[in-house]
Structure 1
Amino acid sequence: MNCVDSYSANSMNPPFLLIRSFDLILNAGDLIFLDLKSPQPEEEVQRQLALFEEKSKEMGSYGIPHLFVPGNHDPSFTYAHQTPEILTELDKTTNLHNYCYQIQPHLWIVGFGGSVPVTLADGTVRKNSSYPFTADMKDEVLRLFSLIPKGDSVILLTHCPPATIGSSFMDQDKKTNEVFFYGSQSLYNQVTSLMQEYDLFLFVHGHVHHEPGCSWFHRTGRSCCIVNPGSVMGGHYAMVRIRKIGEVWKVIDVHHSFSY
C-alpha cells in the first residue's frame, strides 16, 4: 500500500502513482490549506474548496482505492460523520473519518481525522492551532475499535500523531526556532492500551509535515509500526508492504521518499 500526507498538494504526481501494483492509497489528510480558525478571503476559500474536489477526484482516478482522513486544514464538512460505524464498501475516494472497514477477513482499517492543540517546549498550549479539537482527544479511537472483534489485525489511519514519538514534534521551526509538540497523549494511551486486545500492527499518521519517519511501539508479544509519510508537496511518501504470516499480519518493509 502507499501512504501520503497531502498537505495542500497543488501538484499530486509523485512517482509511486506510475506503479499500479498497490492495493490501497492511505492519505493522512490536509488535502488543501483552509484556515478553519481564522477568516480567509471568500475567493481563497472557494479556490481551496474547488481544489479539494479536484484532488479528491484525482487521487481516486488511479484504479486504486484512495482512503483519507481529514486534516485540520480540510473542509469542516469532512467531519460530519459523528457516530463510529462500520463501512461496508469503498468509493474511488473514501473519507474514513470515524469508520472501520474490513479489508479482508480479520483485517481492518480504522480512520479518525483532526488535530489537537500544539504545545510548546515551555508548556504553553496554542488552543487556536487545531481542528476540530480544542483540547486533547477523549476515547474516540477506543469507541471505533469496539466495533471490531478482539484479536483481529488492524491498520490505524489518523491525521494527528500520538505523543512521544519522533515524528510527533518539530525541532526546531525554521522561522521561529520554537519546538512544537503536535501529538495527542490520549491517542498514545488509547493505542498502547488497544495493542493488548488487538493486533494493531500498522499506524499511519500525518499532521507533522516536515518530520516524516518510522518508529515502533512494542508491547508484550506485539509490535506496531508507526509511519509518518510526510507531505506529497514536499516530495515525501511512504510505501508499506504487509504480509500475513501464519495467523497475523506484519509490516515487511517501509520505503520512504525524502526530499531533504
Structure 2
Amino acid sequence: MDRALGLLSLVASGDGRGVPITFLTDASGLSRPTVRRMMIALIRAGFVEQDAQTRAYHLGPESYIVGQMAVRRFDLLGLAMGNLLALSAESGDSSFLSVRRGSYAVCLHREEGSYPIRTQALQAGDRHPLGVGAGSMAILAALPEAERRIVRDDVAQEIRRHYAGYTVGVIDKSVAIAEAQGWALNPGQLMANSWGIGVALRAPTGDVIGAVSIAALDSRMQPDRQPMLAELLTREARAIERKLERRLAY
C-alpha cells in the first residue's frame, strides 16, 4: 500500500498533466511490471485514469471525491493563503507552502513578491525528498531522530541519483543547524544563486505536516537579512497553526 499510494502522489505531482510510466518508474525506483500492476489496481478503484492515446496517467474521479472530503477538514492552503500574501508583501520575495507526503515534500503554492528578479527553484506541484530545499529541510529537522533515519534510508538512493548538491553528510549538518536555530537554510544547494529559509508547520497533535518558506537570490539572503526573514516565517507559521487548531476544534 505504501508503494501504491506513493505512485498516486507521483501522478498528482503532474499538476493536471499526464504522467508517463517512465517517470513513475524513475521516481519510485520500482520495476515497470510492478508499477503497471499497481496502476491497474488504482484504475480499478477510480483513483487513476489512463489516456487511451498517450498512455499517460491522470488522477481519476475518486481522487477528486476524496480530496473534496479532505478539504472540508483540512484546507491548509485556504488557511495559509493570507499568511503567504503577508510574507511576500513584507519580504518582497517569493513565499511557499509545502506539505509533507511521507518521505517527500510537495509544494502546494508559490506566492510572488514585488522584487523584480525572482528565483525559479520551486514551483507549485514540485516534489522533493525531505531535506532538499529550505521548506523540505525544515520538515526533516522537526521530525524525531528515529523518523529522520527512516526518511534518510528511504530517499538516499534518489538523492544520490538526482541531487548533486546533496549528500547524507550535507543533510545531517543542515539538520543540526536547523535544530539549533529553529529554522532551515538552503544556501543554493538545489539551484545555484537561489537561497531559501524554511520553518516547519505542526498540526495540533504535534505532527509535522509541512512548512512555509521564502526563496530569493543569494544577494538577498545574506546573514544580515536571514534573522529578519526567519522571524517573519516563524510569526506566520505560528499564526497558521493557530488557525488550524481552531478549524479542527469544530
TM-score (norm 2): 0.32
Which structure carries more relative contact order (alpha carbon 8 Å, separation 6+)? 1
Between Structure 1 and Structure 2, the one with more helix by share is 2
TM-score (norm 1): 0.31
